Amino acid sequence: MKIRDIMTTNLVTVNQNADLDWANDVMEIANIRHIPVVRGERLVGLISRRDLLRTRISALAGIDPDDEHDLLQSVPAHEVMTSEVVTLPPDADLRQAIETMVEEKIDSVLVVDDAERLAGIVTSHDIIKLAFAFLHNVDPESVDAAPELRDALSQPMRVAERMAHDVISVAVETDLNWVDDVFELARIRHLPVVEGRRLVGLVTQRDLLLASISSIADVSSDERREMMTMVRVGDIMNREITTVRADSELSDALRLMLDRKFGCLPVIDEQSELVGLLTDTDMMKLAYDYLCLEDFPGAEPGATLH
């Protein structure tokens, strides 16, 4: 399967001189998380939802929304965009795009033609939709493999088979500096919040960015860290969490992630204790494994991309 088979070609773009307030409005209206930045027809960068969140005034600061709009209108897109963008050609193998996204821990790959003109985008959401399609459409009898592998494919896959078992978690009283460091060093975007082992909340990189000082504000890094030390995870975490069990069918969990655009689902047991985490990265690996199964029928799902 090639990138062109699933990429989105009807793209929303912004000019490099467009202001951030306009870019934010476009993301909200179009319900998208990535906007390519162009100069004419040439791709020059990418603005993600996280890039915009880094420029927002902290939700804890009590800033008037009109003042924030004025600030965002004064900043052009090229000042906050990512200029070193990962790109691939339309005819590249889709597995190459998934490998790149998993290894680089990025949400999207932009697609450019031979003239370096923007041709499309492949996002993690596109890959997860593909994984969902594979779960429902692979016919075990069509797989030229050992009988035990065909038998395994004929059974509903469970969350426990694909979730991460070794999960980093934080306590309610943890300060945001520590959370920021964990996100940076572990290169993750979701942290379950626990009391003992019982799940009580979830904090995401988005939550952290909304609570942080704007990256375009005139504040030193030391001042920024000092202010974040005063804020606890319990102040910003999500308390209403959608969870799944380890023995839940993976297709049901995947549908939840797609329908609600979740980046992860905490996995709990009967005592509401955390036992794992199912992430969009896990689902991209699943799609990769099915693609390998498609081309190499003897390949074992789950053993091709780690």
- Listed by start position, the domains of the chain span 3-123, 161-278
Burial class (CB in 10 A: 0-12, 13-18, 19+), 72: buried
Residue 300 confidence (pLDDT) above 50: no
Across the range 232-244, mean pLDDT stands at: 95
Across the range 47-51, mean pLDDT stands at: 83
Across the range 188-195, mean pLDDT stands at: 94
Q: State how far the Cα of 269 lies from the Cα of 155, in Å rounded to an integer.
A: 22
Residue 27 confidence (pLDDT) above 80: yes
What is the number of residues in the chain?
306
The reported pTM is 0.80
Residue 153 confidence (pLDDT) above 70: no
Q: What is the percent of the chain with per-residue pLDDT over 90, rounded to a whole number? A: 51
Residue 303 · residue 297 · CB < 8 Å: no
Across the range 257-265, mean pLDDT stands at: 92
How confident is the model at residue 60, as a pLDDT?
45
Sheet holding 244-245, edge to edge: 244-245, 264-268, 274-279
**Ramachandran angles phi, psi of 109, nearest 5°:** -130, 130
Q: Under DSSP, is residue 17 helix (H, G, I), strand (E, B) or coil?
A: coil
Confidence band (pLDDT; 50, 70, 90) for 235?
Answer: very high
How confident is the model at residue 160, as a pLDDT?
96
Please tell me which of 149-163, 201-215, 266-280 the model is most confident about, judged by mean pLDDT: 266-280
> Half-sphere exposure of residue 21, counting CA atoms within 13 Å on the CB side?
11
How confident is the model at residue 237, as a pLDDT?
95
Residue 154 · residue 269 · CB < 8 Å: no
Matching fold, domains 3-123 and 161-278: yes
Query: Residue 141 contacts by C-beta under 8 Å, 6 or more apart in sequence?
Result: 150
Confidence band (pLDDT; 50, 70, 90) for 296?
Answer: very low
Here the tokens at position 174 are 């943890």
| 270: number of Cβ within 10 Å | 6
CATH architecture of residue range(s) 3-123: Roll (3.10)
How confident is the model at residue 147, as a pLDDT?
54
* Region of poorest pLDDT, from 55-69, 109-123, 183-197, 214-228: 55-69
**Ramachandran angles phi, psi of 238, nearest 5°:** -85, 125
To 5 degrees, how large is the angle CA 16–CA 20–CA 23? 80
Confidence band (pLDDT; 50, 70, 90) for 72?
Answer: confident
Q: 161-278, what's its fold?
A: CBS-domain (3.10.580)
Q: How far is CA 276 from the centre of its chain?
A: 17
How confident is the model at residue 253, as a pLDDT?
95
E strand map for the chain:
14-15, 34-39, 42-48, 87-88, 108-112, 118-123, 170-171, 190-195, 198-204, 244-245, 264-268, 274-279
Tokens 């690996």 label which residue?
A: 285
Question: What is the amino acid identity at position 74?
Answer: S
